[in-house]
Amino acid sequence: MNRTPARVAMAALVCFGLSACTPAVSAFDNDPGETGYDVSHIEAVPEIAAQVPENIRARGVLRNGASTNWPPLEYRKSDGQTPTGYEIDLTRALAKVMGLRDGTTQHTEFDALLPQIGTKFDVGLSGFTVTKERLQSFNMIAYSQAGTSWAVAAGNPAAFTPEDPCGFTIGVQTGTSQYDFLKETSAQCAAEGKPEITIMPMQSQAQISVKVASGQYDATLADSPVIGYSVVRTEGKLEHIGEEFDSAPQAVVVPLDDPELAQAVEDALNYLIDTGELEKILSYYGASGIALPHATLNPEVN
């Protein structure tokens, strides 16, 4: 994103000192994710509701798939099961605008999400960065802007250098644009005669944070709001390093062969932007300032 990374003023349970860690869950009663943003006051917009495909209207539910391992975008409440986060609440808000009863989210590991959009799921809200490759197979409606940031253990004991990550051990969530970046960068390291990056892909950013803080990994990189949240929730065990880079739009993913749904989602997002509801949802989770001024279907990207 164009602004400094969101510093999310909340805390969540991190299982430091343990050999394993469950996916990120909220820990305290004052975590906004425990109640979520109330979308009950948002009313349907008839013109937008009329654009929703008949099968979704008949069902009355907008089905979202998300990897609930990325607070504050999507994670789990203290029960370890119930999805929460700003994209979870955004799904509900979209459903309200589209005249549906509800917007539900089901957890699926990130690298398995895209193949299920259009079958098991109607949409995908799971921190999806808009890329040329994804645009070849999906409609993507951009609504926010986020960059990539690095984090290391407090004090940077591994002397990690973000400007030259060759030879370091780096944790990253599978299936993400950051994972692709590490693979490309590691290949460049090898081409320059430097040690390759030891890439450690995992399904949960919470687990990665534990391993970085404990010294098992030298660093991690993820979307800036995710890293900002991780730094706060680890209470000083992680710290930012380097500058944010590769700022890119993030989007709702819709099947390529469903232009009606894509248009309905684009119009619903712009309604939420224009009424200020999107900013309220983001601010509720400490992610103020990342919303785009206008949602765009299939924006041009480098």
Same structural domain, 141 and 33 = yes
Which residue would you say has higher pLDDT here, 287 or 294?
294
> Using CA atoms, how far apart are residues 45 and 43, in angstroms rounded to an integer?
7
| One domain, residues 156 and 233 | yes
Q: Are residues 50 and 170 in the same domain?
A: no
Residue 7 is predicted with a pLDDT of: 28
296 located within any domain: no
With 90 as the cut, is the pLDDT of residue 70 above it? no
Question: Looking at residue 221, what is its pLDDT?
Answer: 97
Band the pLDDT of 234: cuts 50, 70, 90: confident
Specify if 9 maps to a domain.
Answer: no
Query: Phi/psi of residue 148, each to 5°?
Result: -110, 140
Q: What mean pLDDT value characterizes the chain?
A: 89
The predicted model gives 262-288 an average pLDDT of 94
CATH number at residue 172: 3.40.190.10
Look at 258 and 229; give whichever has higher pLDDT: 258
Q: Is the pLDDT of residue 271 over 80?
A: yes
Asked whether residue 137 carries a pLDDT value surpassing 50, the answer given is: yes
Shared domain for 136 and 34, answered yes or no, is: yes
Residue 18 has pLDDT above 70, yes or no: no
- Using the predicted structure, report yes or no on whether residue 32 has a pLDDT greater than 60: yes
Q: How far is CA 45 from CA 50, 64, 69, 111, 270, in A?
A: 9, 20, 32, 34, 12
Output the pLDDT for position 15: 35
Q: What average pLDDT score do residues 209-235 get?
A: 90
CA distance 172 to 245: 16
pLDDT at 43: 98
pLDDT more than 90, % of the chain: 74
Q: Are residues 174 and 54 in the same domain?
A: no
Domain tally for the chain?
2
150-161 mean pLDDT: 98
Q: Which pLDDT does position 14 carry in this prediction? A: 32
Count CA atoms within 13 Å of residue 169 on its CB side: 14
Task: Characterize 118-153 residue by residue with b for buried, 16 or more Cβ atoms within 10 angstroms of its Cβ, and e for exposed.
Answer: beebbbbbbbbbbbeebbeebbbbbbbbbbbbbbbb
Considering the domain boundaries, does residue 269 fall inside one?
yes
Domain identity same for 215 and 242 = yes
pLDDT level of residue 177 (50, 70, 90 thresholds) = confident
Let me know if 44 is exposed, middle or buried by CB neighbors in 10 A (0-12, 13-18, 19+). Answer: middle
8 within some domain:
no
Same domain for 284 and 198, yes or no, is no
- Structural domain range at position 111: 24-146+248-291
**Cβ distance 28 to 69 under 8 Å?**
no
Strands 102-107 and 61-66: parallel
The per-residue pLDDT for 6 is: 31
Tell me: pLDDT of 126 over 90: yes
238-247 burial: b if 16+ Cβ within 10 Å, else e? bbbbbebebe
pLDDT above 60 (res 296): yes
CA distance 139 to 154: 40
pLDDT of residue 62: 99
Higher pLDDT, 228 or 104: 104
Residue type, 137: S
